């Protein structure tokens, strides 16, 4: 077939895609959460999903597909058709930290389509009550007085809590031994029980332990101090502004999605985030509704990837560290 004979077929294909975008959505939308049920990523999506379903006029079906620090579920979306019916919730761990440390990553941020930032939450560094420090200044003094004595728990090798704690170690000039866990839940439990000394995690996950007094916050990644831990300064306050970035929970899709479908999903999510009950429930979890444009979310992803890639290179980190 000549190039000219192919042209009508190409026009038909373009017209078909345009019609699909105009009718979107005409069936249920599958959203992959690449972590187990009950984690902060799962909680955020389940708060937004019912209102999003009403806004789009189709069911939003959540599928938890955990494994490999979120890479397993995210990779599945790479193989999906770019029609807007298979999406994933992405986080700092899945789209920035894992590709940054993996020498042969299955994907990079450019392999996915950013759609919208659902919400953000603060990270914090906390210690168990037995730790001999009551505030950030004494925390740093203790770490410098006893290098190599203390350990920190992370949600897994190559995850955001791992790389961000390594960044903190570099900037603060301290050494803490890394103890990786298979998820944030076990890391928090063992820190709270005193098996490990220190943990860095998201506020929604750490909140129950803080409220019960099982964890004591030392410093938070937030524009201002948190009501739940007013005694803990922000990273800006302690002179580490590079650490003062919030976690994000956003929707991404396969590469090659049409701008019309991206726009419809983005608008529907932004409308859902204006719902009073959604905002209240996110607030109860220590999360803040975000929204914004696909371009803004894409820029945030690229910025966090570049920052964490620099941490990996500067600290000479590997998946075995």
Q: How far is CA 184 from the centre of its chain?
A: 12
More confidently predicted of 1 and 97 = 97
Same domain, 274 and 174: no
Q: What are phi and psi of 287, to 5 degrees?
A: -110, 155
d(CA 251, CA 301): 11
C-alpha closest to that of 64 among 47, 85, 39: 39
Same domain, 113 and 216: no
In a domain, 220, yes or no: yes
Cβ count within 10 A of residue 248? 21
Parallel, antiparallel, or unpaired: how do β-strands 151-154 and 177-180 relate? parallel
Sorted by sequence, the CB contacts under 8 Å of residue 69 that are 6+ apart come out as: 93, 94, 97, 98, 155, 156, 157, 158, 159
199: CATH: 3.40.190.10
User: Which strand (E) or helix (H) includes residue 30?
Assistant: strand 29-33
Boundary of a domain, candidates 218, 243, 268 = 243
110: CATH: 3.40.190.150
pLDDT of residue 19: 52
In a domain, 73, yes or no: yes
Same domain, 154 and 228: yes
**Tens-digit pLDDT profile for residues 53-107:** 999 999 999 999 987 778 889 999 999 999 999 999 999 989 999 999 998 889 9
C-alpha closest to that of 53 among 44, 62, 65: 62
Cα angle 87, 93, 96 (rounded to 5 degrees) comes to: 85
C-alpha closest to that of 83 among 122, 113, 123, 53: 113
More confidently predicted of 252 and 227 = 252
C-alpha closest to that of 156 among 90, 200, 207, 108: 200
In a domain, 255, yes or no: yes
Question: How many Cα atoms occupy the beta-carbon half-sphere of 12 within 13 Å?
Answer: 5
What residue numbers bound the domain in which 283 lies? 25-120+246-315
Q: Structure pTM?
A: 0.81
Boundary of a domain, candidates 189, 220, 243 = 243
Residue 231 carries which DSSP code?
T
Number of domains in the chain: 2
Parallel, antiparallel, or unpaired: how do β-strands 216-221 and 287-291 relate? unpaired
Same domain, 53 and 188: no
Same domain, 173 and 112: no
In a domain, 254, yes or no: yes
d(CA 250, CA 184): 19
d(CA 181, CA 319): 13
pLDDT of residue 16: 47
Q: Is 62 helix (H, G, I), strand (E, B) or coil?
A: strand
**What rounded mean pLDDT belongs to the chain?**
90
More confidently predicted of 234 and 318 = 234
């Amino acid at each position: 077939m000549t190039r000219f004979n192919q042209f009508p077929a190409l026009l038909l294909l373009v017209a078909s895609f345009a019609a699909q975008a105009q009718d979107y959505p005409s069936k249920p939308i599958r959203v992959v959460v690449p972590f187990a049920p009950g984690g902060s990523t799962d909680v955020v999506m389940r708060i937004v999903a019912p209102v999003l379903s009403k806004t789009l006029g189709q069911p939003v079906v959540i599928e938890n597909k955990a494994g490999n620090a979120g890479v397993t579920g995210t990779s599945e979306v790479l193989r999906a058709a770019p029609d807007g019916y298979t999406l994933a919730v992405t986080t700092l761990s899945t789209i920035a930290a894992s590709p940054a440390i993996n020498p042969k990553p299955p994907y990079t941020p450019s392999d996915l389509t950013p759609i919208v930032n659902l919400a953000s939450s603060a990270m914090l560094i906390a210690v168990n009550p037995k730790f001999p420090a009551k505030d950030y200044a004494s925390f740093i003094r203790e770490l410098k007085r006893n290098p190599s004595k203390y350990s920190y728990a992370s949600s897994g090798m190559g995850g955001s809590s791992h790389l961000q704690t390594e960044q903190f170690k570099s900037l603060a000039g301290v050494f803490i031994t890394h103890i990786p866990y298979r998820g944030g839940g076990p890391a928090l439990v063992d820190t709270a029980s005193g098996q490990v000394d220190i943990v860095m995690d998201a506020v929604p996950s750490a909140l129950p332990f803080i409220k019960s007094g099982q964890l004591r916050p030392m410093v938070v990644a937030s524009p201002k101090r948190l009501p739940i831990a007013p005694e803990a300064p922000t990273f800006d306050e302690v002179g580490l502004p590079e650490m003062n970035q919030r976690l994000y929970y956003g929707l991404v899709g396969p590469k090659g999605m049409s701008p019309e479908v991206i726009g419809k999903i983005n608008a529907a999510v932004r409308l859902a985030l204006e719902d009073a009950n959604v905002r209240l429930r996110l607030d109860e979890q220590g999360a803040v509704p975000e929204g914004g444009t696909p371009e803004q979310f894409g820029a945030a992803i690229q910025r966090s990837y570049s920052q964490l890639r620099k941490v990996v290179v500067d600290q000479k980190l590997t998946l075995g560290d």
